[in-house]
Amino acid sequence: MALLEINNVSKHFGGLAALDEVSFSALEGEIHGLIGPNGAGKSTMFKNISGFYSPTTGTIRFNGQDIQGLSPSSIAKLGIVRTFQETTLFQELTVFENVLVGCHLEAEVNLLDALFGLNKKVQQKANVHALKVLDFMGLTERKDQLAIELPLGSQRALAIAIALAAKPKLILMDEPFAGMNPEETRQMMDLTRKVNETGVTIVLVEHDMKAVMGLCENITVLNFGTLLAQGKPDEIRQNDKVINAYLGGGH
């Protein structure tokens, strides 16, 4: 069953079409790859799905509900959480606090609660949940360090931990393997699989082909804002149009 359905989504900036009538869908429980050369529109697509942009035309359905045009926080409430390119964390907060912010949807408090500590149970539940997520991602030992002090691999793991703390149905991962060495890549692949095995659907934007081919069940390829190809990793690998797009015309 399709969890996320993108139907004819276009995004125009002035006269420029960053996305032109793109459609694809991600099945519930899978890891879905979204690839393409630089400037293909992958990040624009992510921003449309997560509410940072709203599509010029087209619909985005999640879990049977139209979500295009909703705000990022409302989309998070429905169960879609994204991670960001580079490493985007709350750098001046501790690892534990980072994950605690991720628990926002279940642990948000109002002013009165804050003043008189009326909701200790909810806060304790959030603390326990945050610790569980840290343990799951192998970050327990680092929980009191500042996020900015972590090595790259742990920072990326923390970014996923923050997303996971929000208990999403779907995580959009934006280039989680960028700049990693082979050992870090292997660990990150294991973590991604582990997250997926808990029942979370993942859509992955990535340039590291080894990681994409190794992880994804289905792959969507974009080029110049249009849909280029769709299929299983083996089909994509042998697709002439895809090879051309990556290596340039004339080959």
Partner 1 sequence: MNKFNLTQFVVMLTLFIGLILLPHYLRYQHQDFMIFLIINVLVVVSYRLMTLTGEWSLIHIVMMGVGAYTSALMSKHMGVSVWLTIPLAGLSAAVLAGLLSTPLFRMTQFYFLIGSFAVGEAIRLAWIFFIKPFGGSSGISSVPSPELLGIDFMDPIPYYYLVLIVVSLCLWVLYRIEKSRIGLTLNAVHWKAPLAQSVGVNTWKYRTLAFMVASLFVGIAGALKIHYLGNVTPHQFGVGSMVFVLIWVIVGGYNTFYGPIIGAVVLSVLDESLRNLNEYRPAIYGVLLIISIMFMPKGLEHISQGLKDWIKTAKSSS
Binding site for partner 1 (CB under 8 A): 50-52, 71-73, 76-77, 81-84, 88-93, 97, 100-102, 104-105, 107-109, 111, 113-115, 117, 123, 126, 162-163, 165-166
Q: How far is the CB of 51 from partner 1 (least distance, A)?
A: 8
C-alpha neighbours within 13 Å on the C-beta side of residue 177: 24
Closer by beta carbon to partner 1, 22 or else 76: 76
Shorter beta-carbon distance to partner 1: residue 205 or 236 = 205
- Smallest separation (angstroms) from partner 1 to the CB of 236: 28
| Residue number with CB closer to partner 1 (146 or 209) | 146
Q: Is 102 exposed, middle or buried (0-12, 13-18, 19+ CB in 10 A)?
A: buried
The residue (of 1 and 111) whose beta carbon lies closer to partner 1 is 111
Sorted by sequence, the CB contacts under 8 Å of residue 168 that are 6+ apart come out as 76, 79, 80, 81, 200
Query: Which is closer to partner 1, CB of 165 or CB of 221?
Result: 165
Cα 235 from Cα 243, distance rounded (Å): 11
Query: Shortest approach of partner 1 to residue 43 CB, angstroms?
Result: 12
Tell me how far, at minimum, the Cβ of 131 lies from partner 1, in Å.
16
CB of 80 to partner 1, least distance (A): 9
Quick one: 199 exposed, middle or buried, by C-beta within 10 A (0-12, 13-18, 19+)? exposed
Q: CB neighbours (10 Å) of residue 64? A: 9
Nearer CB in complex with partner 1: 72/233: 72
**235: helix, strand or coil:** helix
Contacts of 108 (CB under 8 A, 6+ apart): none
Q: How far is the CB of 123 from partner 1 (least distance, A)?
A: 7
What is the phi/psi pair of residue 218, to 5°?
-135, 150
Joined together, the tokens standing for residue 42 give: 């992958």
